Structure 1
């Protein structure tokens, strides 16, 4: 027996609520981690910060690019340009600073 459209709409609404809740949990988790890393204290454009997060996500996905709806998800850089790596925490200094 097929479901009536009203039941399908109810299921969609429940799934949308679940999605919002999951996204909120994920955002809070990422936000806490970013704050502990000191990101909240850095003056940086949101587009640059998003590009940096996309690079990090790509690194943890094993280099697989994910479509973000942007023409160039690398924040305006092309494949031939070098990127810098930021290091935070105990390993942030040079070897001879210890």
Structure 2
């Protein structure tokens, strides 16, 4: 039996709320890492920081890393100190915008 459109709309609203909560948790997690790395004290253009984050994400994807939802889900090579600092700073900036 097909769902009525009103039921589908309700489900969409619930999913949007879940998405917002998940994004907030992710932003807070990344922001905490950024602050621990000392990026809260570094001034950098947001566009440049975004580009650095995309580069870091690409390196992890190239290694076959996938989101597992686990903290120690697999062995991942440690990023360089400068990459960690750049990544953490962007997260700190975005964490407050969620």
Normalising by structure 2, we get a TM-score of: 0.63
1:86: which partner in 2?
82
8 A contact 2:56–2:83 mirrored in 1: no
Q: Paired residues, what number?
A: 69
1:5: which partner in 2?
5
Largest Rg, 1 or 2 = 1
- In structure 2, runs of 5+ residues without a counterpart are 65-80, 86-98
- In structure 1, runs of 5+ residues without a counterpart are 65-84, 90-98
Higher relative contact order (CA 8 A, sep 6+): 2
Relative to total residues, which structure has the larger helix share, 1 or 2?
2
**Superposed CA offset, 1:4-61 (max 9, x none):** 0000000000000000000000000000001111111101000111111111111111
Normalising by structure 1, we get a TM-score of: 0.63
2:19: which partner in 1?
19
